[in-house]
């Protein structure tokens, strides 16, 4: 009976499979639902979370169980996206400042302009999650959607505003 109760308790803690499915955007209503999920809220401040686990290890024919724990912080989807976009924004600022402040230098008797950091708006780790969570794609610091009707929308997560592009 105890084993059955433990199995039910484990099953109750599992995420439903629908949580892991990617978002499918077909209409403006779908976009509005995603945007409302990314709305700023008082719960956006990181909360401390303690993770505990028991790990069983088989060593020299004997089974040993170790208790491990770690302190971490819980973040919302919005927080994770904003943290990554802050990194992107900082990279752009560094490149802009470097381009504006760089003075020509003399190399082998010739005056040349120093190299600027190469900044291409390339894929970042969060892009896959943005696609999965929102059904859209990141371009710069905005999230874009194109509907089957060819209407396009962009979302500014900083200002929490949705714009119609075309």
Q: Could you tell me if residue 125 is inside a domain?
A: yes
Residues 85 and 130: their CA atoms lie apart, in Å, by 11
Q: Could you tell me if residue 57 is inside a domain?
A: no
Range with the lowest mean pLDDT among 27-31, 106-110, 135-139?
A: 106-110
| Contact between 137 and 124 (Cβ < 8 Å) | no
Read off the pTM.
0.67
pLDDT for 52-86, tens place per residue?
Answer: 999 888 888 888 899 999 998 888 889 889 988 89
When divided into structural domains, the chain yields a total of: 1
Across 25-31, average pLDDT: 93
Q: Could you tell me if residue 91 is inside a domain?
A: yes
Domain of residue 29 covers: 22-46+76-164
Q: Euclidean distance between the first and final Cα of the chain, in Å?
A: 61
What contacts 158, CB < 8 A, 6 or more positions away? Answer: 82, 85, 141
Q: Could you tell me if residue 4 is inside a domain?
A: no
- Compute φ and ψ for 13, nearest 5 degrees: -85, -15
């Amino acid at each position: 009976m105890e084993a059955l109760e433990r199995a039910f308790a484990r099953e109750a803690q599992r995420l439903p499979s629908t949580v892991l499915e990617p978002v499918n955007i077909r209409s403006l209503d779908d976009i509005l639902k995603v945007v409302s999920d990314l709305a700023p809220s008082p719960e956006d401040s990181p909360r401390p979370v303690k993770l505990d686990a028991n790990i069983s290890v088989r060593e020299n024919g004997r089974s040993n169980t170790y208790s491990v724990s770690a302190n971490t912080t819980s973040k919302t989807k919005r927080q994770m996206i904003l943290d990554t976009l802050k990194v992107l924004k900082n990279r752009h600022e560094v490149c802009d400042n470097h381009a504006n402040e760089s003075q020509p230098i003399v190399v082998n008797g010739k005056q040349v302009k120093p190299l600027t950091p190469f900044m291409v708006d390339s894929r970042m780790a969060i892009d896959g999650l943005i696609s999965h969570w929102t059904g859209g794609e990141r371009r710069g610091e905005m999230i874009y959607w194109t509907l089957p009707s060819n209407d396009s929308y962009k979302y500014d997560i900083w200002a929490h505003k949705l714009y119609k592009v075309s």
